[in-house]
Amino acid sequence: MADTYTPPVTGTGVKATIQRIGGHLAGMIMPNIGAFIAWGLITALFIPTGWLPNETLAQMVSPIISILLPVLIAYTGGRMVHGQRGAVVGAVAVMGVVVGTDAPMFLGAMIIGPLTALILKYVDKFTEQRTRAGFEMLVDNFSAGIVGGAMAVVGMLGIGPIVETVTTAAGNAVGWLIQHNLLPVASVLIEPAKVLFLNNAVNHGVLSPLGVAEAAEQGKSILFMLESNPGPGLGLLLAYLLFGPRALRPSTPAAMIIHFFGGIHEIYFPYVLMKPRLILAVIAGGAAGVFTFMVTGAGLVATPSPGSIFAYIAVTPKGGWLGSSLGILLATAVSFAVAAVLLGFGRGEKEEPEPGETGTGQMNEDEHARAGHTGTEPATKEA
């Protein structure tokens, strides 16, 4: 089974269920963070607005984000449900979703990968007791092929269009908020959409076209700053570094570098999915940043792509660096403060016990209690 790199969730109820679902979603992403980093580095370096523009090497950017990353996510999700067989059919099925739409189908991959593996799992249970000896490989291969192929068709005709509709609806909602001058409230829609990997659709599909029109008239536009602000993600990662699960803290410094300097916001999405309540932190940080941009009259002349601090500086008009920097700084501070509170300032995170040692003092007390109840007394008692 795939290592999800996510802390286990215990308990029942709505809160635990939401955390468990978020943990499963994050579990599909965390093992593939290396691929996200590789894509982020290639993007930050070689796209036309990157650090080392190279038209030939930049050709890798689109296939990686539109094909490779969704396939890896679906493969991992399928493996979590039904081992290697689930991984294979998940990777096959997601190709229908990938081919059926133009936008990166991360959300579609997180749906169809585990779903296809679950269907195959039930098919295997049905055929296991009904397959004659010597026909096991034949039945296994054909059942996997049929399920994978059928779900690829379902993904292309069903799941892909549904996800695309959700993306369009989210973009329309953001556009409505912009038209009614409710920009800080837009973070309530933008930040959850980002965490579900709809960030490119919201930014390039809605905000950028509107921003281009506004910038053509006024010379700059605040709309370029709504989704691309690296402050909320940086604050969240800082909170994870100081107060998050101890097993994940070592991964956050690299994530912060990739996110803030490389502009690859996807790197922090799994950290929110692991603890869904932290969506409140990035919403608060995003709203604080947008409000600051409005008050200071900040704006950019073009979309900062990727959304790194360097890209922000490059597309900030002369004399506008104070407003941009202040918005990023306050967004980071607010996101960090809210996330720290939601993480309980790390009070719930205990050091893991050393091998061969007792995990907690309470366990020692329990052992002494059991010893007393079973009549086991210290040696001095017998004497």
- pTM given for the model: 0.64
DSSP codes joined into one string, 148-202: HHHHHHHIIIIIHHHHHHHHHHHHHHHHHHHHTT-GGGGHHHHHHHIIIIIHHHH
Taking the chain (383 residues) in consecutive chunks of 10 residues, what is each chunk's mean pLDDT?
50 61 70 75 74 87 87 92 94 91 77 94 90 86 94 88 73 71 82 78 69 75 86 94 87 88 83 87 93 88 78 80 91 95 77 43 45 45 40
Same domain, yes or no, for 154 and 230? no
Q: CB neighbours of 258 closer than 8 A, spacing ≥ 6?
A: 37, 40, 41, 264, 267
DSSP codes joined into one string, 243-311: HS-TTTGGGHHHHHIIIIIT--GGGGHHHHHHSGGGHHHHHHHHHHHHHHHHHHT--BSS--SS-SHHH
In a domain, 44, yes or no: no
3-class DSSP state of 221:
strand
**Cis peptide bond upstream of 306, omega within 30:** yes
In a domain, 31, yes or no: no
Contact 327, 309 (CB under 8 A): no
Same domain, yes or no, for 213 and 147? no
Q: CB neighbours of 304 closer than 8 A, spacing ≥ 6?
A: 224, 225, 228, 263, 311, 312, 314, 315
Domain count, the chain: 2
Phi, then psi, of 334 in degrees rounded to 5:
-65, -45
Same domain, yes or no, for 203 and 338? yes
Contact 336, 239 (CB under 8 A): yes
What distance, in Å, lies between the first and last C-alpha atoms of the chain? 55
3-class DSSP state of 89:
helix
| End position of a domain, from candidates 145, 180, 215 | 180
Q: Which residues pair with 300 in a beta bridge?
A: 221
pLDDT of residue 350: 54
Same domain, yes or no, for 60 and 172? yes
Nearest to 330 by CA among 277, 289, 284, 281: 289
Cα separation, 235 vs 255, whole angstroms: 12
In a domain, 236, yes or no: yes
Neighbours of 257 (CB within 10 A): 14
Same domain, yes or no, for 160 and 280? no
Cα separation, 293 vs 286, whole angstroms: 11
pLDDT of residue 366: 46
Cα separation, 328 vs 338, whole angstroms: 16
Same domain, yes or no, for 164 and 220? no
Same domain, yes or no, for 189 and 148? no
pLDDT of residue 234: 94
Same domain, yes or no, for 169 and 220? no
Phi, then psi, of 297 in degrees rounded to 5:
70, 30
Structure tokens at 363: 């366990």
Q: Could you tell me the residue range of the domain that residue 119 belongs to? A: 56-180
Cα separation, 190 vs 172, whole angstroms: 11
In a domain, 85, yes or no: yes
In a domain, 377, yes or no: no
Cα separation, 299 vs 293, whole angstroms: 7
Same domain, yes or no, for 96 and 153? yes
Cα separation, 259 vs 308, whole angstroms: 7
In a domain, 10, yes or no: no
Same domain, yes or no, for 205 and 251? yes
| End position of a domain, from candidates 180, 196, 228 | 180
Cα separation, 209 vs 201, whole angstroms: 12
Same domain, yes or no, for 173 and 188? no
Same domain, yes or no, for 343 and 284? yes
Phi, then psi, of 303 in degrees rounded to 5:
-70, 125
In a domain, 120, yes or no: yes
Contact 305, 218 (CB under 8 A): no
Phi, then psi, of 81 in degrees rounded to 5:
-90, -45
3-class DSSP state of 109:
helix
Could you give the dihedral angle defined by the CA atoms of residues 251, 350, 273 and 293, in that order, rounded to the nearest 10 degrees?
A: -70
| End position of a domain, from candidates 180, 210, 240 | 180
pLDDT of residue 356: 43
Cα separation, 206 vs 256, whole angstroms: 27
In a domain, 364, yes or no: no
